[in-house]
Each structure stands twice: as C-alpha cells, then as structure tokens.
C-alpha cells in the first residue's frame, strides 16, 4: 500500500522525516508492506512551480492508500490567483474528508491543570465558518465596500448528520457519552439545524448519553472538569479552537494526533502549525505527526480489515507514551533534552522490543 508523504513548510520536513523513521520501523517489525511516495507542496513548490499545490499531487492523493501531511505556513501564502492554495483545506474539500478526529489524552500523566484528560473531538471539516472553502463557486468572504467585510457560514443537514454519526459510533467503543457543542442561543437557525441533526442521530444510539453545551461555557468546563467529556462533536471552527485547548490541557499542543477522514481516504496531519520560529533547528516535537500517522494506520486497518496495521498503530501509540514518561526523553517544548531526530529514534527503538 502506497502512502503519499507531503512534508509541507516550516518544521514540516523535520517532523515528517522523524515520523517516517517510526513508520519505517513499524513497517519492518509488523510487515505492513507500506511504501512511500514523496511530493513537494507549500512554499518549496510555489518557488519551483508557481503553486503551493501542484495538480499531480491531488491526483497522487486520490490514488494513495493514505496521506501524511506536514504543517503549512498558510499565513505566508500569496492569494490563490498567485498560486497560494491551502493544501489542507483543498484536500479536505476535494477528497471529502469530512471528519477531523482530534483525541486529547494526558500522556505525561498530568495535563496543564494537573487533571486527567481523555476525550476525542469530532470536528466537522468541510463547511461552517471556513469561508475559503464553504462555497461551491467563489468565496464566502467578501467586501461589498472598502469599509465593510462580510463572512458567510454554511451549515447543512448532510454534513451535520454524518459528523454526528461518526461521533456516536466512536462513543460506542468509549465511555458512551457525546457532547454536542453549539451556540444555538445566538445562531438559532444554523446551530439549531446542527442540534436538530445531532438529536436525530442520537435516537439511533440509545446506549449513548447526549449532552448539549454552549461553546463559551464549553471552553470553561473543559478546564474545570475535563473528564466530564468523552466524545465531543462540533462544527468546524468551534472544534478547531476547542481541540487546541484540549490538546494543551492534555500536556501540550505538540502532543495531539489528528486525522482528516472521509469514507474513501484519510490524511494524517499534526494538530499544530508550521512553527516558523523554531524551523530548521531540529528541536520540534514530532509526537503529534507520529501519533497522527498511528491514527492513519488505525483507519486503514478498519478499512482493509488488516490486523497488523491495527497492531502497529497501538504499538506506536504505546511507544510514544513510554518515551514521554521519562523527563530525559522529552523534547525541548516539554522541558526535555532531546531533538526531533533523537525523539523519533527513541520511539522507533521501542517498537518490537517486547
Ligand atoms: P503554530 O502551531 O505553528 O505555533 C504555535 C507555537 O507552538 C509556536 O511557539 C511554536 O514554536 C510552537 N509549536 C508548534 N508546534 C510545535 C512542535 N511540534 N514542537 C514544538 N513547538 C511547537 O501556530 P502559529 O504560530 O499560529 O502558526 C504558524 C503558521 O502555521 C502559520 O502560517 C499558520 O497559518 C500555520 N498553521 C498551519 C496549520 C496546518 O497546517 N494544519 C495549523 C495551524 C497553523
């Protein structure tokens, strides 16, 4: 099975190389039969080819068994007409990767507040407030006059229904609770539609308890009592913001894995950005992309009923835990002495140990 590897910008190439060290070892130990196809995107391909996302890369993604996507310096991209395409958004929309799955679990033993965290966010990934990708033609953000800017949000029954379904399915193999995050006290129509679809799906899962929480209260409750939450389902932007909060609470932004999953394809992508402030220094924490890749293997295992992939995913997850447990095998962001490459070597070294 072929995995497309897109290193991206900033710390992307460093954490992608580290991730491939771990995946390469898992490939050998568990005999996964994976191969890698490398393609350049982002600022490198903008310079060489005039676009941050060449067409052939989209074609390669469609044909791949899975994709590993490094972070992108999208803030530095020129407008789309001058080649600045956000590959992350483009892949999500064009390949219909509608579920952004972002777990947060306290891996260092304690979270930021010293409270345990064990939750997973199911974030709708294809519409909502993201005006650069929520219209069929044209953008949802525009300026009717030079002193007025407008942004439109799109909410559809289809997208709410399918993300709610994935969340309830996930809850069935967890603590059987779904929290739907909304702002229906203000957005009575659009968030009202989201809640209507979530409630409909909930009737098909009588064993799962549904709780509804307004997004601003949610930001506080997450800090106050993180273990109250098991599976969280949210529209695009609420999910994006809350997942950074949850990840930080669980020990750090560099720790949370994340996948963008559709019915046909899955893209592993770290939760954090391209960290230009530390790019090229060899000190970035690669754990988020490593864990995202383990989630990709898990997704592929379910799709292809492949036990070895599932076993490899669990082993990588456990290896990251084992390496993080000791302060002397952590990266600089967690107060440890290891560089990006050394951390990856330590994780790879744990695979196949027992
Ligand atoms: P960021 O996540 O890149 O960085 C925030 C802070 O966290 C920085 O101090 C950074 O050094 C640190 N950090 C992030 N990842 C780390 C890691 N793995 N190890 C150690 N420290 C880490 O967010 P930002 O600074 O707001 O954005 C930088 C760029 O990334 C922007 O161009 C933005 O558009 C882009 N971005 C991309 C994605 C993506 O590709 N998915 C997501 C968010 C932001």
pTM: 0.94
**What are the DSSP calls for 335-347, one per residue?**
T--B-HHHHHHHH
Summarised one tens digit per residue, pLDDT across range 119-152 is 999 999 999 999 888 898 888 999 999 999 999 9
First to last CA, the chain: 26
Ligand 1 atom with the smallest distance to the CA of 73 is: 32
**How high is the pLDDT of residue 354?**
61
Between helix 287-304 and helix 307-325 the angle, nearest 10°, is 160
Ligand 1 centroid to residue 8 C-alpha, Å: 12
Structure tokens belonging to residue 40 = 């350049």
Cα distances from 126 to residues 22, 160, 324, in angstroms, run 30, 10, 33
Q: Which residues of 166-196 are buried (b: 16+ CB within 10 A; e: fewer)?
A: bbbebbeeeeebbbbbbbbeebeebbebbbe
Cα 113 from chain centroid (whole Å): 23
**How high is the pLDDT of residue 132?**
83
What are the start-end ranges of the H helices in 225-267?
Answer: 236-249
Mark whether 183 is an active-site residue: yes
**How high is the pLDDT of residue 111?**
73
Cα 284 from chain centroid (whole Å): 17
Ligand 1 pocket test, candidate residues 43, 76, 112, 272, most atoms within 8 A of CB: 272
Ligand 1-lining residues (CB < 6 angstroms): 11, 71-76, 88, 253-254, 269, 272-278, 284-285, 288, 333
For residue 22, the SS3 value is: helix
Ligand 1 pocket test, candidate residues 275, 286, 293, most atoms within 8 A of CB: 275
**Closest Cα to atom 36 of ligand 1:** 273
Cα 197 from Cα 100, distance rounded (Å) = 18
**How high is the pLDDT of residue 322?**
94
Structure tokens belonging to residue 7 = 């290193």
CB-count burial class (<10 Å; 0-12, 13-18, 19+) for 287: buried
**How high is the pLDDT of residue 36?**
98
CB-count burial class (<10 Å; 0-12, 13-18, 19+) for 282: middle
Instruction: Report the DSSP pairing between strands 118-124 and 231-234.
Output: parallel
CB atoms within 10 A of CB 219: 15
Nearest to 123 by CA among 238, 216, 266, 217: 238
Ligand 1 centroid to residue 270 C-alpha, Å: 10
Largest CA distance in the chain: 66
For residue 221, the SS3 value is: helix
Instruction: Report the DSSP pairing between strands 99-105 and 118-124.
Output: antiparallel
Segments of the chain scoring below 50 in pLDDT? none
What are the start-end ranges of the H helices in the chain?
Answer: 12-29, 43-49, 55-63, 87-94, 157-172, 190-202, 215-224, 236-249, 287-304, 307-325, 340-350
**Closest Cα to atom 12 of ligand 1:** 275
**How high is the pLDDT of residue 218?**
98
CB atoms within 10 A of CB 319: 23
Cα 255 from Cα 112, distance rounded (Å) = 12
CB-count burial class (<10 Å; 0-12, 13-18, 19+) for 231: buried
Q: Say if CB 61 and CB 67 are below 8 A apart.
A: yes
Q: Which DSSP symbol is given to 78?
A: P
CB atoms within 10 A of CB 216: 13
């Amino acid at each position: 099975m072929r995995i497309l590897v897109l290193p991206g910008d900033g710390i992307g190439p460093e954490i992608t190389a580290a991730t491939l060290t771990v995946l390469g070892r898992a490939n050998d130990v568990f005999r996964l039969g994976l191969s890698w196809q490398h393609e350049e995107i982002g600022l490198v391909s903008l310079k060489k080819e005039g676009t941050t996302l060449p067409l052939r890369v989209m074609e390669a993604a469609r044909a791949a068994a899975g994709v590993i996507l490094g972070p992108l310096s999208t803030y530095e991209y020129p407008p789309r007409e001058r080649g600045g395409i956000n590959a992350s958004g483009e892949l999500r929309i064009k390949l219909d990767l509608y579920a952004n799955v972002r777990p947060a679990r306290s891996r260092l033993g304690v979270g930021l507040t010293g409270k345990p965290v064990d939750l997973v966010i199911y974030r709708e990934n294809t519409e909502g407030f993201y005006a650069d990708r929520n219209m069929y033609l044209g953008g949802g953000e525009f300026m009717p006059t030079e002193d007025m800017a407008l942004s439109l949000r799109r909410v559809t029954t289809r997208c709410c229904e399918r993300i709610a379904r994935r969340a309830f399915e996930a809850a069935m193999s967890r603590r059987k609770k779904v929290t739907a995050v909304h702002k229906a006290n203000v957005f009575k129509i659009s968030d009202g539609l989201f809640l209507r679809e979530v409630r409909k799906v909930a009737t098909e899962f009588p064993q799962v308890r549904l709780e509804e929480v307004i997004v601003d209260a949610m930001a506080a409750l997450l800090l106050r009592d993180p273990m109250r939450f098991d599976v969280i389902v949210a529209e695009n932007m609420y999910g994006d913001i809350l997942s950074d909060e949850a990840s930080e609470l669980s020990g750090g932004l560099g720790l949370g894995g994340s996948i963008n999953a559709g019915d046909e394809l899955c893209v592993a992508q770290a939760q954090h950005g391209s960290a230009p402030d530390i790019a090229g220094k060899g000190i970035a924490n690669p754990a988020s992309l490593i864990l995202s890749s383990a989630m990709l293997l898990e997704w592929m295992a379910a799709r292809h009923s492949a036990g070895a992939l599932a076993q490899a995913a669990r082993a990588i997850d456990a290896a990251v835990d084992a390496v993080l447990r000791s302060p002397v095998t952590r990266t600089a962001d967690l107060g440890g002495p290891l560089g990006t490459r050394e951390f990856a070597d330590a994780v790879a070294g744990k695979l196949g140990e027992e």
